[in-house]
Structure 1
Amino acid sequence: MDYTLDNGVLSVAFTTAGGSFTSIKTQGREYLWQGDPSVWSGQAPVCFPICGGLRDDRAVTRSGKQIALGRHGFARKQEWKLAEEGENMVAFKLDSDDHPELLEQYPFPFVLTARYALDGAKLLVSYEVTNKGDEDMPFFIGGHPGFACPLDEGEAYSDYTLRFESDEAAELCTAVPSTGLIDVEHRSANPMVGRDLPLSHELFDVAETIFDVLESRTVDLVKKGEEKGLRVSFPDFPYLIVWSKPEGDFVAIEPWGGLSTCSDEGDVFEDKRGCLVAAPGETVVRTFSIEIL
């Protein structure tokens, strides 16, 4: 099922297939990547109950439970249900009671609610994770929105830059494309120039750029020399991934609560960086926003 919110400033389309948004428009300009299966068919998947990947797609909890999850988990591939609808707000939920087969991959009963609201030129995104079980539930949550770049015809990908709120570390952890995991012990030079990450297709020839030590909590996608673009604010997320495909006219700005398994980590789920834990009956909330500038 598809839904649309329009407050006269911003028009955002949503789908229950994956429980996420499929369009962000203002004044006729589309800001969200519209998908191309030959490049990347995604648009703004929800990463749950992991962000990134596990070593050999597997992990074990401290209590000995087995976890078997593909990259970014399963939430993005499920049919969600409408949970709530109101003026300038819509919410979808993924309930393990409706998908008992998911407990074979992730043995913790849960409800994941994705709540979306419009506030002027801003889309507010709230992920609400509820533990329906009788023991602590470890998990990870993250967003993966991909934005159109360039925004208008006649422009080049390299006309755009990502502008960070703060100075960032001179060296970043290194993605390992062959495994999908992360090397934190052999670090790479940060390609930023000052607080800007100039965009080029060559930047993504090898892998994504992973900010595992992150000062900024806002990043702007803007055309150089202009204010045209958008701002992603992620106060609740400690990590940021910047990713595209060499042939893709998009850039994904991904606020994550965790990372792919790192070279200095074992395979105990709770010992991974950023692991959140919901007590029985508890709901843990993490938010970010997308604002059109």
Structure 2
Amino acid sequence: MEFVLDNGSVRIALSTAGGSFTSIAANGREYLWQGDPAVWSGQAPICFPICGGLRDGRAMTMGGREVKLARHGFARKQEWKLEEQGDNMVALSLSSADHAELLEQYPYPFKIVARYTIDAEKVAVSYEVTNEGTEDMPFFVGGHPGFKCPLDEGESYDDYELRFEQREAAELCTAVPSTGLIDVEHRSKNPMVGHDLPLTHELFDFAETIFDVLESRVVTLTKKTEDKGVRLTFPDMPYLIVWSKPEGDFVAVEPWGGLSTCSDEDDILEHKRGCLVAKPGETVTRGFEIEIL
């Protein structure tokens, strides 16, 4: 089922299949990548209850429970349901009460509400995670929106760049595609030029670009020669992933609350960078904002 919000400035479409965007449109232009299963089957998946991958797809919790999760968790593969709807807001939810089989992968009763609110040219995305069990619940949550690049006909991928609010570290951690994990001990040169990351298809020949030590909380995808694109603001997300495929006319700009298991981490879920813990009955909220320029 699909839901549409339109305030005359921005129009978004959301699907219960995965609980996320199928369209972000404004100014007569589509900003969200419209998908090509031959390149990437996603558009804007929600990463929950992990971001990235676990070593061998599993981890133990400090309470002795085993978690067995594929990359980015299961939320993006599930059918969500309508939680709440207003003139400028739609909230979709996924819970273990409706999908008891998910407890075999992640043995913590949970509910996650993805709330989407439009205001002028801005879209606020809020992930509200509730622990519905009786034990502390470790988890991660993050966004994975893929934006069209280039935005218009006649433009080139490398006409675009990502502009960071701050200057970032000179060296970045290294993705390990064979395992889906992260090497934080052998770092590589940051391809940014000043505050800007020029986009080229070659940038993604090897893997994603991972900002594991991130100063910026505002990043703008824009054409180099004009103010056209989207700005992401994510004050409570400590990590950013930038990813595409060499043949893909999109760039995913991903604010995450955690990372794939890193080379200096063990396999205890709570020991992973950025792990959040919800107490029984507690709701923990994280999110980000997309502004159309």
Name the counterpart of 1:276. Answer: 276
In the alignment, the residues of structure 1 paired with residue 287 and residue 50 of structure 2 have an alpha-carbon distance, to the nearest angstrom, of: 16
**SS of 1:9 mapped into structure 2:** coil
In the alignment, the residues of structure 1 paired with residue 81 and residue 63 of structure 2 have an alpha-carbon distance, to the nearest angstrom, of: 32
1:220-231 equivalent positions in 2, closer than 5 A: 220-231=220-231
1:198-277 equivalent positions in 2, closer than 5 A: 198-277=198-277
1:48-197 equivalent positions in 2, closer than 5 A: 48-197=48-197
**SS of 1:168 mapped into structure 2:** coil
In the alignment, the residues of structure 2 paired with residue 116 and residue 283 of structure 1 have an alpha-carbon distance, to the nearest angstrom, of: 17
**SS of 1:90 mapped into structure 2:** strand
Name the counterpart of 1:27. Answer: 27
Aligned residues: 293
* 5+ residue gaps, structure 1: none
Offset, 1:41: 1.2
Return the letter of the residue paired with 2:175. Answer: A
In the alignment, the residues of structure 2 paired with residue 279 and residue 182 of structure 1 have an alpha-carbon distance, to the nearest angstrom, of: 29
1:37-52 equivalent positions in 2, closer than 5 A: 37-52=37-52
Name the counterpart of 1:285. Answer: 285
Name the counterpart of 1:15. Answer: 15
Runs in 1 of length 4+ with deviation above 2 angstroms?
none
* 5+ residue gaps, structure 2: none
RMSD: 0.4
Q: Under a length normalisation based on structure 2, what TM-score does the superposition of the two structures give?
A: 1.00
In the alignment, the residues of structure 2 paired with residue 132 and residue 208 of structure 1 have an alpha-carbon distance, to the nearest angstrom, of: 34
In the alignment, the residues of structure 1 paired with residue 41 and residue 106 of structure 2 have an alpha-carbon distance, to the nearest angstrom, of: 25
Deviations 1:235-272 (A, max 9, x none): 11000000000000000000000000000000000000
In the alignment, the residues of structure 2 paired with residue 223 and residue 62 of structure 1 have an alpha-carbon distance, to the nearest angstrom, of: 46
Return the letter of the residue paired with 2:222. Answer: V
Deviations 1:17-44 (A, max 9, x none): 0000110111210000000000001000
Offset, 1:105: 0.3
Q: Under a length normalisation based on structure 1, what TM-score does the superposition of the two structures give?
A: 1.00
Deviations 1:138-195 (A, max 9, x none): 0000000000000000000000000000000000000001000000000010000000
**SS of 1:103 mapped into structure 2:** helix
Offset, 1:225: 1.6
In the alignment, the residues of structure 1 paired with residue 174 and residue 80 of structure 2 have an alpha-carbon distance, to the nearest angstrom, of: 34
Identity among equivalent positions (%) equals 75
**SS of 1:220 mapped into structure 2:** strand
In the alignment, the residues of structure 2 paired with residue 145 and residue 35 of structure 1 have an alpha-carbon distance, to the nearest angstrom, of: 11
